[in-house]
Amino acid sequence: MKEDNLSAFEDFFIVGFSDLPKLQVPLFAAFSLIYLMTLVGNLLIMITIYSNSHLHTPMYFFIGNLSFIDICGITIIFPLMLSRIFQNGTHMSLAECLVQAYCVMVMISTEFLLLSVMAYDRYVAICNPLRYMTIMSKAVCMRWAAGIWVLGFVTPVPHTVLVSKLTFCESHTVNHFFCEVPSLMKLSCSSTYAIETLSYILGAVELMMSFLLIIISYINIVSSILKMKSKGGRTKAFSTSASHLIVVILFYGSICSTYVRPTSSYSMQNNKLLSLLYIVITPLFNPVIYSLKNAEFKMALRKTKNSGQIAGTKTDSNIAKVVRKIDI
Ligand SMILES: *[C@@H]1O[C@H](CO)[C@@H](O)[C@H](O)[C@H]1NC(C)=O
């Protein structure tokens, strides 16, 4: 009982990168650069979509949402981590810890849901182009987006509640650079059976459902692309779905390499470094992937950058022509 009372008041000790003292300067430089690039890249995507009315289509709205999630996700972790990288570890209260853990889970589950809705959007655009505008109307997209955000915020609640009820005994040292649920569970001396079961069930349902939606969408997309007669049509359909597929692979790959492993190979140190992957890779490469692979987007980006000089000139009608040609 005494432990119980203690744990409510005691702080957690977040190790961060204080176990790698020689690497603190290079890590600080690298992380600052990554954070800056992620912010600039994703903000540029959101501004480009916002300021080009021909990009006001479901696909770009969802890409904008993805950029927004990525900015939020990395901002929950990086500024705090960077500001404390030169300290010898830091303290966090249980409440602060839970808020951070909850926010990270919200971002992960929202991103899973969003990626599967984006796959569905590509499926409708490619396999059912004539009805695309009715199936993915503005109202429907709003509903999808609202559903994604609501589910994203609700699904991590049970986890967070259960973790808040754990008792922590001797060690309060979290060998991580943010408050992560698996690391907290390792410290608990009460039974984590309920959380683990819940994780497996919720995780499996959410992961499987979004994964199945993506797989089914892509099976249909590929078979419809193979059936297309014109080479131009095939290239168009391929290029828009390829960007999405690359992002899906990066996100699923990095999450799975961190969390879907046999428990025997689970070490806190590896886990800490691996989780950098899913926090950094998708947010950092999203803008690159979408702006490099997508002619329509590149054009709009260039237009946004030069908008001061070319507004309302002939270039606009040229862009409109090209856009009409490559629009799916
Ligand atoms: C997210 O998607 C919804 C629905 O398509 C859209 O209305 C909204 O503007 C998007 N938000 C961002 C930040 O892109």
Full domain range(s) for residue 22: 3-295
Residue 114: predicted pLDDT: 93
CA of 4 to the centre of ligand 1 (A): 44
301 falls within a domain: no
Which atom of ligand 1 sits closest to the CA of residue 144? 4
Q: Is residue 94's pLDDT more than 80? A: yes
Q: What is the DSSP letter of 10?
A: P
Q: Is residue 138's pLDDT more than 80? A: yes
What amino acid is encoded at 180 in this protein? E
Q: Is residue 244's pLDDT more than 50? A: yes
Domain count of the chain?
1
**Residue bearing the bigger pLDDT, 129 or 147:** 147
CA distance 200 to 198: 5
| Percent above pLDDT 70 for the chain | 87
196 falls within a domain: yes
Find the residues whose C-beta lies inside 6 A of ligand 1: 46, 61, 64-65, 68, 141-142, 145
Best CA proximity match to 47, nearest among 35, 38, 55: 55
Q: Residue with structure tokens 């404390």?
A: 84
CA of 64 to the centre of ligand 1 (A): 6
326 falls within a domain: no
Residue 7: predicted pLDDT: 45
CA distance 244 to 116: 10
Query: Helix (H, G, I), strand (E, B), or coil: what is residue 294?
Result: coil
310 falls within a domain: no
Using one digit for the tens of pLDDT, what is the confidence trace for 172-197?
888 888 888 888 888 888 777 888 88
Question: What's the CATH number where 94 sits?
Answer: 1.20.1070.10
302 falls within a domain: no
| CA distances (Å), origin 326, targets 64, 93, 98, 233, 319 | 20, 53, 46, 9, 11
Q: What are phi and psi of 251, to 5 degrees?
A: -70, -50
Structure tokens at 69: 């999630």
316 falls within a domain: no
CA of 57 to the centre of ligand 1 (A): 10
**Residue 183 near residue 166, CB atoms below 8 Å:** no
- Mutate which of 56, 57, 61 for ligand 1? The one with the most ligand atoms within 8 Å of its CB, which is 61
Residue whose CA is at the smallest distance from ligand 1 atom 13 = 65
**Residue bearing the bigger pLDDT, 8 or 30:** 30
Tell if the pTM clears 0.75, that is, is over it. yes
Mean pLDDT of 247-273: 77
Residue whose CA is at the smallest distance from ligand 1 atom 8 = 61
309 falls within a domain: no
Residue 242: pLDDT band (50, 70, 90) is confident
CA of 151 to the centre of ligand 1 (A): 16
Residue 191: predicted pLDDT: 79
Residue 146: predicted pLDDT: 95
Mean pLDDT of 215-237: 86
93 falls within a domain: yes
CA distance 229 to 233: 8
Q: Is residue 62's pLDDT more than 70? A: yes
Residue 32: pLDDT band (50, 70, 90) is very high
Residue 6: predicted pLDDT: 46
